[in-house]
Every structure is written in structure tokens, then in C-alpha cells.
Structure 1
Amino acid sequence: MTSHKSILVGITGGIGSGKSTVARIFSILGIPIYYADDRAKWLMANDPDLKKQIQVNFGNESYSEEGVLNRAFLASKVFSDEEKVKTINGLVHPAVRADFETWAYAQKSPYVLKEAALLFETGSYKDLDKVINVSSPIRIRISRVLMRDPHRNEKQVNDIIDKQLPDEEKNKLADFVIKNTDNKLLIPQVLEIHKQLMKV
């Protein structure tokens, strides 16, 4: 991965950990940020090769006649079927990886950030030079998500948390850990990591 001018840094964290807030602080410092989950949605809706592969694997109903992604149909296909989850991830993740590489190569910054919920779970952290994990106690995460997404209930949030790698595991794999708790300020932690990355 040395062909990139910028250092590739991942930023991850479980649902409700506050990784988007942390990413915003980095962007205020002028660091370019690639939002992997948003780009994945965009690619599924707009990338002709990916659209074709999704139709081959999940049927033509995956898209409307106008070519609009039928999220409800796809979700119903993938929901609770581990094999189908693997299939869709196997199509989307390589497309996101290639898209990120192209994007990162075009940036003029000492380092760039790739923000993604499942960096460790998908193995995509191996493509990066450094990884930041935003860590937060589960009770705080649940209350944050319930405030942010009133349509979710506590059981749904717990189900999502159960599918993600526990913080202890992520913290071991990460190069930097940002603790997002009620008694730790985020900005000094971000500035410290920023300073270290600018030196690399």
C-alpha cells in the first residue's frame, strides 16, 4: 500500500460509540474523510458492475425498472440468512475497497480517514496503515442510539451490538483508542492522535 501519498487511517466504533462525532472533529482539522457506509449505499445504487452482480445473485427485483435499488426487497432477502449476508458483503466490500483506494490516491493530505462501522469484522482494517477505535460503555451507547433513532427499541440496539466485535477486542487490534465517556473530553484525544499522525 506504499503507492499512496497519504497514510491510510481507519476510524471505527460500535453503534452509538460516537465515531461520527469524532470524524467530524478530524474534518474540522482539515482531514479528508471517506464515509464507507454511505459510499457503499451510493455504489449499490450507482455502480453498474455492482448493480449487475446484485441482480444476478438476488434477482431482478433488487432494482426497479428505473434502476432504483429496492432496499426493502434486498433487506428481506438478506435478513436472518447468514449465507446471503456473506454474499452481499462479498459483492459490496470489494467495490468499496476499490472506490476508497481511488479516492485516497487523489487526496493531498498527510493522512486520510476511512470511517466504517465494521472495519475489523470485515477484515478491511488490514488494508490500512493505522486504525482508531472509538470506545464507549454499552449503557451510554444504547441511550445515545435510542435518543438518535426513536424508531428503534433497546432489544434492537442490543441485537446490533451483539453482531459487532466487543470493544475489548477492537481496542486490542486498534493503534489508537478514543474513549468517548461522560468524563473524557473528545477534542484533546483527537488532537493528540492528529499530532502523532502528522509526524508519521
Structure 2
Amino acid sequence: MPGDNSRPRLVVGLTGGIASGKTAVSDRFAQKGVTVVDTDQLAREIVEPDTAGFEAIRARFGPSVVRADGRLDRQALRDRVFSAPEERAALEAITHPLIRDRVRTCVASAASAYAVVVVPLLVEAGWDKDVDRVLVVDVPESLQRSRLMERDDVDETGARRMIAAQTPRARRLEAADDVIRNTSDLGALDEAVQRLHEKYQQLAQQHG
């Protein structure tokens, strides 16, 4: 997306580990009038019934991943690809190009000086090459575990397994241009987002 004139002057990729607070951060950017594109939401849209994504998944994975009501059985699909790298790669080969196309469309129609694209697997999927800056929402793993245990009602073993399934925290931080340490209260988070909002507005002007 960098170098594409039909988009805001700056595109920020927002990522972070599970339960780090990505949504809390992206919501605050949206409240400031910034266009926020959520790839998780787009991932749901591109596999709705009668879409190209849905038909491609059904053709590749068969009727076992389709519910009786004709919609995608997300849990069955997750179970199918979770421990099978080749199956996961096949799913990503279908969904990632479709999501990228939707992101480009959403970003191109943005009215704000910069746009934020939320990509949970930004580093793993190579999306860091598609944005101008990478913003990582970071928390220590101990805080991730406690938040997961409370949010998802899982035990510590389950929380550790969920964290271990993601890219290491150090790798995300290595890819970061900017970092929000989401370890304090909401007031501190508001201030951190405001500082970056001002910074990104200035950078967008420079890009223009």
C-alpha cells in the first residue's frame, strides 16, 4: 500500500498479542475521526454465504465446515487447521488475498489524513510490508495470562497455550515503529493514543 496515491497519506498497522488491548486502542483512534479498518471483521465478511471466499473454502475443505443453515462452521474450520500447518496455509491462501483487497478498498475511501489497519497477525502474515508504520500494543505475558483467564474463562494452562500459539512478543516488538505499553489505567491509554494521533497527523503531512 505504500506508494499508492489513492489512499490516506499514512497507513498505520496496529497489532499486538492476544488480550493486549488492540480493540481498546483502535476504538480510541476511531473516536478521533480516524478511519480504522479491522481485518478480523473483514475476515468474517469475506466468508459469508454466496461469497467467493465461502465457495473456495467449501471446495477445499468440504461439507464438514458448513453448518446445517448453510453458513461457515468457524469452530469446525478452526479445529481443522489449528494443528495442521498445511491446512492452515491452504486457508490463508484463500482468505489473505481477499482480505488484502478489502483493506485496500477501505483505506482508499478513507477521509482521514491517516488510517489504522488492525491486523492481529501482522508480523506473522507479512503485513508489516504493506503499511507505513507498525504500532504494537504491548503487555507482559503475565498480564496477558490474567486477562485471558478472566475474559475467556480458561485456566492458566489454557492461557499459556493460547499465548504460545502466537508469534513471540520479542518478534512483534522488533517489528514495531511505535509501542503502546498497555499496563496502566484507561487515562494513561487515552494519553498514549493522543500522543500518537498528533504524531501521525504530522507524519501524514510530511508524506503529503
Whether these two folds match at TM > 0.5 is yes
Deviations 1:165-191 (CA, angstroms, capped at 9, x unpaired): 222221121110111113792122211
> 1:117 pairs with 117, 120, 139, which one?
120
One-letter amino acid matched to 2:146: S
Q: Which residue of 1 is the match for residue 174 of structure 2?
A: 172
Deviation for aligned residue 1:125: 1.9
Could you tell me which amino acid in structure 2 is paired with residue 145 of structure 1? L
Structure 1: how far apart are the matches of 2:162 and 2:32? 31
Q: In angstroms, what is the RMSD of aligned CA positions?
A: 1.8
Q: Which amino acid aligns with 2:133?
A: K
**8 Å contact kept, 2:11–2:132:** yes
Q: Which residue of 95, 100, 123 maps to 2:98?
A: 95
Which digits, 9 at most, give the CA deviation of each residue in 1:65-91, with x for residues without a partner? 653112233223223111101111121
List per-residue Cα deviations over 1:76-109 (Å, max 9, x = no partner): 3223111101111121111110011011111111
Q: Deviations over 1:16-60 (max 9, x none)?
A: 111111111111111121111122022112462111211121013
Unaligned residue ranges in structure 1 (runs of 5+): none
**Identity %, equivalent residues:** 30
The one-letter amino acid of 1:159's match is R
1:17 alignment partner, SS class? coil
1:185 match: secondary structure = helix
Is 1:34 matched up with 2:37?
yes
**TM-score, normalised relative to structure 2:** 0.88
Q: Which residue of 2 aligns with 1:139?
A: 142
Return the TM-score normalized by structure 1. 0.92
Q: Map 1:45-84; keep pairs closer than 5 Å.
A: 45-46=48-49, 48-64=51-67, 66-84=69-87
Indicate if the aligned counterparts of 2:128 and 2:175 stay in contact, CA closer than 8 A: no
- Unmatched 5+ stretches in structure 2: 204-208
Is the CA contact 1:5–1:110 (under 8 Å) kept in the aligned structure 2? no
Cα distance in structure 1, aligned partners of 2:150 and 2:50: 34
Secondary structure at the aligned position of 1:89 is classed as helix
Distance 1:77 1:191 in 2: 41
2:157 is the counterpart of 1:155: yes
SS of corresponding position for 1:122: coil
